[in-house]
């Protein structure tokens, strides 16, 4: 299983707008991805309610994971999005 550990780059954490940006990016990645707090249970990264339910704060470590084909590239892009607090999914890493 491919995995990326990153710190949330959005100061407000994964709440409201940042969560919406992340969920849209996870859906657009084309691979099933899970997200979890460092020691927490993974949830579906494409679910707005699940992502909001994590309560991930700015600077907190999260874990992105997937075992699907193409997961490495998708996780790289999502990790960059989260770590840098970007407003949209980067096209390339």
pLDDT, one tens digit per residue, over 24-75 is 999 999 999 999 999 899 999 999 999 999 999 999 999 999 999 999 999 9
User: Is 38 within a domain?
Assistant: yes
- For the annotated catalytic residues, the residue numbers are 15
Q: Which of 93, 90, 81 is nearest to 18 (CA)?
A: 81
pLDDT band at residue 17 under the 50/70/90 scheme: very high
Structural domains of the chain, count: 1
User: Is 89 within a domain?
Assistant: no
> Is the model's pLDDT at 9 over the cut of 90?
yes
pTM, whole model, 2 decimals?
0.92
User: Is 66 within a domain?
Assistant: yes
> Is the model's pLDDT at 93 over the cut of 50?
no
Query: What local confidence, expressed as pLDDT, does residue 86 receive?
Result: 87
Q: In terms of residue numbers, what domain contains 11?
A: 2-84
């Amino acid at each position: 299983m491919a995995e990326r550990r990153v710190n949330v780059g959005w100061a407000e954490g994964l709440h409201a707008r940042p969560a919406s940006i992340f969920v849209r990016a996870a859906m657009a990645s084309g691979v099933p991805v899970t997200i979890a707090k460092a020691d927490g249970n993974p949830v579906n990264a494409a679910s707005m309610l699940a992502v909001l339910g994590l309560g991930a704060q700015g600077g907190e470590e999260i874990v992105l994971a997937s075992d699907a084909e193409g997961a490495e590239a998708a996780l790289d892009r999502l990790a960059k999005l989260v770590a840098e607090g970007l407003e949209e999914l980067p096209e390339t890493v």
